[in-house]
Structure 1
Amino acid sequence: MKILVIGSGGREHAIAQKFLASPHVTSVFCAPGNPGMALDGIKLVPVTEMAFAGLIDFAKRTKITWTFVGPEQPLLAGIVDAFQAAGLAIFGPNKAAAMIEGSKEFAKQLMIKHQIPTAAYKSFSDYESAWEYVQQQGVPIVIKADGLAAGKGVVVAEELATAQQALKEMLQAKKFGASGQTVVIEEFLTGEEFSLLAFVKEEEVYPMVIAQDHKRAFDHDQGPNTGGMGAYSPVPQISEAEVLQAVETIVQPMARGMVENQTPFTGILYAGLIQTATGPKVIEFNARFGDPETQVILPRLKSDLAAVIDDLLNDRKPTLEWAETCCVGVVLAAAGYPNTYQTGMPLPIFDASVMTYYAGVAEKNEQLVANGGRVLLVAATAESIEAAKLKVEQALQTQKMANYFYRHDIGAKAIQSNEN
């Protein structure tokens, strides 16, 4: 098989690398990819992820067996519809189904209709009504831009002033453009968060092992929200019974609900969940693999990922086998991220004791340099989360980290949970 992966980040690096490990795969191309991926033998295609005509032309010329879509933007823009119209096999939800991520209001309405547990909410498109509602509800409260905002369109307001500022930025200053023209205001839920991803083919659901992502920039969940500063898997704080309950009450009903809604979902369905005192509830749905969860979930997959996707595309039941090992991944970010940050700094080079997944990188004078906020992710597997975390820390500590930063507490909650 020849496979094309759409995207350029650490998530796509992990996916492409896993495909390349398959005995059934001869070549893996990534469009546009990044220069760090080439170190693993992934072939870069100089076509951007939104240039559908160019991507279709490449897939036809190169006789690509099928294409896998990594990021949400091309999914929401209809890349799957475009490829299918051209007679090409592609794995991911079409434009209508991708709205599960593209509109929080759309997702909420489906959840309410199909009695999927989630936070109580109300949507607003004018500032005055939204601000009045927030004052009535009180804090803490959660304010979300309805559309895509690169993981940064969510504000957990613990003070009314914070909530008011978020509403002004989204609804008046148009901080997120069209994505923030409507806001979804939710009740604040307390509990342990976890990510439950599944391979989905319409009503068929094949869950993956769970992971926990860390969104805040700094240690102890301080600082602004980011696209994710690290993750680990498994999540010992969440029991097998709780995961099973989440599959049965959330993921499977949503897959069935999407079919009933005449927007059937095929692809990777990501449920961002929180284990509350009354059971698991939905924080958000995404229409693709998470980043950085992918980089800690896929190293635990013993099955052939390319065979899994090929089976799903051809209406065969896939085989999924997971390793008992633990995986911890820590993002190395440019100083200043998620706000203004520097680029062009040389990258630290890590040895084979850890896995390095490249994201915001470029090549300059035959050397890899930083070219984004989240630059790379360092991951390691081991028999325990503590041991995996230690491997990553040792690798990071051997490097000079001027102009970079990373969190030191990825996986700490899991270790604490095991000690208790």
Structure 2
Amino acid sequence: MNVLVIGRGGREHALCWKLGQSPRVKTIYCAPGNAGTSRDAENVAIDPKDTRELVRFAKSRDVGLTVVGPEEPLVNGIVDAFQREGLRVFGPSKLAAELEGSKIFAKEVMRQAGIPTAEFRVFRGAPDAEQFILSREVALTLRPRGRSPVRGTQHCRTAAEAIEAIEAILDPREVLVPGQAEVEVDERGKRRSFKTIEEARRYVLTRPIGLVIKADGLAAGKGVAVCKDLGEALEAIDEIMVRRLHGRAGDRVLIEERLDGVEASVLALTDGRTIIPLESSQDHKRAFDGDEGPNTGGMGAYSPARVLTPELMAEVEREILVPIVHAMKRSRRAFRGVLYAGIMLTHQGPKVLEFNVRFGDPEIQAILMRLRSDLVDALEAVVDERLDSVALDWDPRPAVTVVMASEGYPGAYERGRPINGLDEAGAMEGVKVFHAGTATRNEPQGPRIITDGGRVLNVTAIGEDFAEARDRAYRAASAIRFTGGWFRHDIADRALKGEPPAEDRS
């Protein structure tokens, strides 16, 4: 059959590569693809959001199966459009894809189904969200000093009370001579004095909190802020709801308690009745070594995740996957596709951070390196609701993926930088270089592969053990060069050492 893969990233390149190994596949098309998919498929210059043109193309090329990679087309209802035209497509319907399209919807379903997750509050306006943040307990004692118009000690339970007291003590309308009034802030015996409202307020906002701020809608993986203090939480509200950095995704925000523990990813195929978990994986979200820096779309992954023992996987399936699939079916949103559960392994057991409705990126790159079964057979079984007839065969060897990124990522970055060393890296044993953000530029000496995204390449390797897989991935990554290119140096370090990952706070 002919197969169409929709998307342009590393996930889609991995899907093209694996689907192309099926003896049942004649031609693979990728819309729009990248410089890497052009080697494992035939690229088609159609935007993933152009549903009408994609449907027309699938009909004209007798496509027997379409696989949708990114979340946005799924949330916008591309599966429904294909099905209305009698086309076979892998992915959830628009109603089912709301599990990722709305974090608030997902939380409400989890609450109804009794699925363990963090406590949360929903806000529809910035003032209410900011008021909630400032209502957090800080337990500060304030004492006026010098010629302040206020007398007496102020015991402040919340940040809002502390800021109000500071403004009264240092009121510029009442302090006639600037600098002659001070406020002393006492926090559990530690005292600091401030002469200006700005300095004192800034100090109050550095009080630690345990909150996560999330834009409700799709924000390209950038609508979540894990906040270590009050100031960061207020800044996140300003970015999402006032400055609207993520557009309509910020119409509503979710504020939830921060969970402490070890994060892991569980992906499962489901046809709405049967659930088959894929092999476990561990993502590395933070930009820099040691899990420092801002969150990203993922700087690397490895499979299997040692922290997800068979007992824990059984618990995740029993307490999370089965209840969510049943809850969606009861609400007439039957879920068929791949269900991605971001899990925090807390001291109270596994809790859900989020649900996604597509293959994880870069987790799926490492997972597919280990899949021995025909992926076409598995995806078709989901489409035909006969997943109970499928059994997946896995290579026991581990796989490691190292993400190579553009200078400046996850912030602003330049495109168009030539990439060297791809053939050398790709020729190494056990290595596959998946392209994520690349393009081809025609030059006088011939076509040249250039950078075209923040995450540029997913260098993936399999080995007899984690040491060999990791060594192969890093040797291949080191052979690839482009100006400003960089990667983390500690992907799978803890798996290599047999240690559990460091506790994350998400």
TM-score, normalised to structure 2, is: 0.81
3-state SS in 1 of match to 2:11 = helix
CA pair 21-260 structure 1, distance change in 2 beyond 3 A: same
2:478 maps to 397
For 1:303, the equivalent position in structure 2 comes to 373
In 2: Cα distance, 1:399 partner to 1:13 partner = 18
Where does residue 130 of structure 1 map in the other structure?
129
1:347-366 per-position Cα deviation (integer Å, ceiling 9, x unaligned): 13123222100011111120
Matches within 5 A, 1:166-315: 166-315=236-385
- 2:210 pairs with 1:140: yes
Match of 1:338 in 2: 410
Question: How much does 1:342 deviate?
Answer: 1.3
Letter in 1 for 2:477: L
Specify the code of the residue in structure 2 equivalent to 1:10: G
Residue 97 (structure 1) aligns with: 96
**TM-align CA RMSD:** 1.4
User: What one-letter code is carried by the residue in structure 2 that aligns with 1:39?
Assistant: R
CA distance in 1, matches of 2:500, 2:273: 39
Deviation at 1:62, TM superposition (A): 0.7
Please list, as runs of the form range in 1=range in 2, the aligned pairs for 1:12-161 lying within 5 A after superposition: 12-40=12-40, 42-137=41-136, 139-161=209-231
More deviation, 307-316/396-405: 396-405
Q: Is the 8 A contact 1:6 1:49 kept in 2?
A: yes
Q: 1:340 Cα shift?
A: 1.1
**Residues 204, 255 of structure 1: 8 Å contact kept:** no
Instruction: Report the Cα distance in structure 1 between the residues aligned to 2:6 and 2:499, rounded to whole angstroms.
Output: 38
In the alignment, the residues of structure 2 paired with residue 135 and residue 413 of structure 1 have an alpha-carbon distance, to the nearest angstrom, of 38
Gaps of 5+ in 2: 138-208, 502-506
Residues 214-236 of structure 1: CA deviation (Å, up to 9, x unaligned): 11111111222111111111111
* Structure 1: distance between partners of 2:220 and 2:464: 33
Partner of 1:322: 394
Shifted more, 101-110 versus 214-223: the winner is: 214-223
Distance in 2 between residues matched to 1:67 and 1:213, nearest whole Å = 27
Greater C-alpha Rg: 2
Aligned to 1:405, the other structure's residue is in SS state: coil
SS in 1 for 2:22: coil
Q: How far apart in 2 are the matches of 1:172 and 1:402?
A: 36
Change (3 A) 1:2 1:406: same
Q: TM-score, normalised by structure 1?
A: 0.97
The corresponding residue for 2:184 is: none
Q: CA deviation at 1:38?
A: 1.5
Q: How much has 1:386 moved relative to structure 2?
A: 2.3
Report deviation, 1:261.
1.0
Contact 1:342 1:403 in 2 (8 A): no
SS in 2 for 1:96: helix
Residues 270-297 of structure 1 deviation map (CA, whole Å, 9 limit, x = unaligned): 0000111111000000010011011011
Per the alignment, do residues 398 and 17 of structure 1 end up closer, same or farther by CA in structure 2, a change over 3 Å counting? Answer: closer
- Contact 2:22-2:374 within 8 A present in 1 as well: yes
Aligned residues: 419
Distance 1:298 1:170 in 2: 35
Instruction: State how far apart, in whole Å, the 2-side matches of 1:194 and 1:385 are.
Output: 17
Does the 8 A contact of 1:174 with 1:180 survive in 2? yes
Partner of 1:417: 498
Q: Secondary structure at the match of 1:158?
A: strand
Q: Are residues 1:375 and 2:445 paired?
A: no
Question: Structure 1: how far apart are the matches of 2:329 and 2:242?
Answer: 37
Q: How many Å apart are 1:79 and its aligned residue?
A: 0.3
Gaps of 5+ in 1: none
Q: Which one is further off, 313-322 or 287-296? A: 313-322
**Is structure 2 residue 465 aligned with structure 1 residue 384?**
yes
- In the alignment, the residues of structure 1 paired with residue 236 and residue 383 of structure 2 have an alpha-carbon distance, to the nearest angstrom, of 42
Query: What CA distance in whole angstroms lies between the structure 2 residues aligned with 1:109 and 1:261?
Result: 12
Matched, 1:8 2:80: no
**2:398, 2:33 → 1: CA distance?**
27
Q: Read off the aligned partner of 1:358 and give its amino acid letter.
A: H
CA distance in 2, matches of 1:180, 1:71: 20
